[in-house]
Every structure is written in C-alpha cells, then in structure tokens.
C-alpha cells in the first residue's frame, strides 16, 4: 500500500525525494539487458529520439551503437481519485544495490559504473547508498500482503496505490494482464517537472 509505505519511511528521506525526485539511468546495448530495439520497439534512431523528447528522457548515443538515457521523475505523487500521497517509483527495484553483489561487481568491471543496464539516483544525481536501498526494501517487505494464486483468480490492482510484483514460483502458469482507465502523471500532482534537458 503506497501511502502506508510512504508513512513508514523516514520523513527526511521522503522530503528529499519529494524535492528532488529520482533519476533513472538506463544503458541499452546488444550485450546485456535490453537492446534499443527491444526497449523502444524500433531501431530507427529518429523514432527513438522522438519518443525520448516526448517523454522527458535525455539520451546519448554511444559509439558502439548503444544508447544511454536519463529520466527524472517524482518519487511521491497524489492518488488521482483520493488525493492521498503515495510512494510511487522504482527506486529500489532498479538500483544497482538490488543486484547480487557478484553480478554488480562484474558489470561495473566490464561496463563501468555509468554503463550498468539500469540504476537509480537521487534527482540531483547523487548516488543512492546501499543503506537507503536496504531500508526501502525492508519497508516494502514489512508491508507486503501476499495472495496465493488459484486457477481462475481475477486480481484488480490500483497501480498508483499498490506496488506489486511476484515471488519465485515453480511449474507452469499463465497470467493474462490488461490495463484499464489510464492515468496521466500530470493528474497525480507530481513534485518534479518532467522535461528533456
């Protein structure tokens, strides 16, 4: 529950994220992580650049044909129906400290700290420490509700109010997903402006 997670985090931390937002950096190449074509659905540089400009994503083409992007987003938004403040981001999930230590070390050795497939930072570009990521993950864990799936189940999730994921499983499964009632970020009172630099 995003409002509950927000309330459980230290005020000093959430206030900083509200002021600065968070920064997502991505590196796309044909070696590790998503390629440009997989991520954007095209290899057409003009189409990729157009998408980035339209969505407040800065980009830099690499000499090897890869792409690096940066996007600054709000970490806290208001629910469009209730107005409640919600912790709405992927700061911990996409952070380097969420990777297994040996994977992170290998990727940094091979690609450099700026070449990781993904990473998050404070909105001003400062690194987010391992302690902050651990704190975020601990708060998520302590407020997680688990629902074992049964054949034929239907689950509706409010994507702004509820952080959601799945845990490891074994055996076959088929999950169908549909999105309804799209919400624009602008309708959620973001605390930072989304612009291309």
Q: Mind giving me the DSSP string for 51-120? A: HHHHTT-EEEE-TTS-EEEEEEE-SEEE-TTT--EEE---TTTTSGGGS-HHHHHHHHHHH-GGGSSEEE
The mean pLDDT value for 70-76 works out to 97
- Give tens-digit pLDDT for 10-65: 999 999 999 999 999 999 988 888 899 999 999 999 999 999 999 999 999 999 88
Confidence at 69, pLDDT banded by 50, 70, 90:
very high
Helix-then-strand count for the chain, H and E = 6, 6
The mean pLDDT value for 99-111 works out to 94
| Domains of the chain (ranges, CATH numbers) | 2-188 (3.60.130.10)
Which of 77, 69, 64 has its CA nearest to residue 31?
64
| Residue 74 clears pLDDT 70, i.e. is over it | yes
Three-state secondary structure call for residue 45:
helix
Sort 33 into a burial class: Cβ within 10 Å, 0-12 / 13-18 / 19+: middle
CA dihedral 174, 184, 123, 43 (to 10 degrees): 60
pLDDT score for 180: 86
The mean pLDDT value for 111-132 works out to 95
- The token duo for 154 is 């239907």
Confidence at 96, pLDDT banded by 50, 70, 90:
very high
Confidence at 165, pLDDT banded by 50, 70, 90:
confident
Neighbours of 40 (CB within 10 A): 19
| Residue 196 clears pLDDT 90, i.e. is over it | no
The mean pLDDT value for 88-114 works out to 95
pLDDT score for 143: 95
| Residue 80 clears pLDDT 70, i.e. is over it | yes
- If phi > 0 it is left, if psi is from -120 to 50 it is alpha, else beta; for residue 137 that is alpha
User: What's the chain's average pLDDT?
Assistant: 93
The mean pLDDT value for 149-171 works out to 88
More confidently predicted of 193 and 55:
55
What backbone torsions phi and psi does residue 179 show, to the nearest 5 degrees? -110, 145
Roughly how many angstroms between the first and final C-alpha of the chain, as a whole number? 33
| Residue 169 clears pLDDT 90, i.e. is over it | no
pLDDT score for 103: 95
- The token duo for 98 is 């969420």
């Amino acid at each position: 529950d995003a409002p509950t997670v927000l309330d459980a985090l230290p005020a000093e931390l959430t206030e900083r994220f509200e002021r600065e937002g968070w920064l997502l950096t991505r590196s796309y190449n044909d070696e590790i992580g998503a390629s440009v074509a997989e991520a954007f659905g095209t290899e057409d540089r003009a189409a990729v650049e157009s998408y980035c400009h339209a969505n407040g994503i800065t980009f830099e083409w690499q000499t090897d044909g890869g792409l690096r992007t940066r996007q600054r987003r709000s970490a806290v938004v208001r629910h469009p129906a209730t107005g409640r403040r919600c912790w709405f981001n992927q700061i911990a999930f996409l952070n380097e400290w969420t990777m297994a230590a040996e994977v992170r070390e290998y990727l940094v050795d091979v690609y450099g700290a700026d070449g990781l497939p993904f990473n998050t930072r404070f909105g001003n570009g400062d690194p987010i420490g391992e302690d902050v990521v651990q704190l975020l993950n601990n708060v998520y864990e302590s407020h997680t509700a688990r629902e074992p799936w049964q054949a034929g189940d239907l689950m509706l999730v409010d994507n702004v109010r509820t952080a959601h994921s799945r845990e490891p499983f074994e055996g076959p499964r088929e999950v169908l997903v549909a999105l309804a009632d799209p919400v624009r970020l602008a309708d959620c009172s973001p605390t930072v402006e989304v612009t291309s630099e």
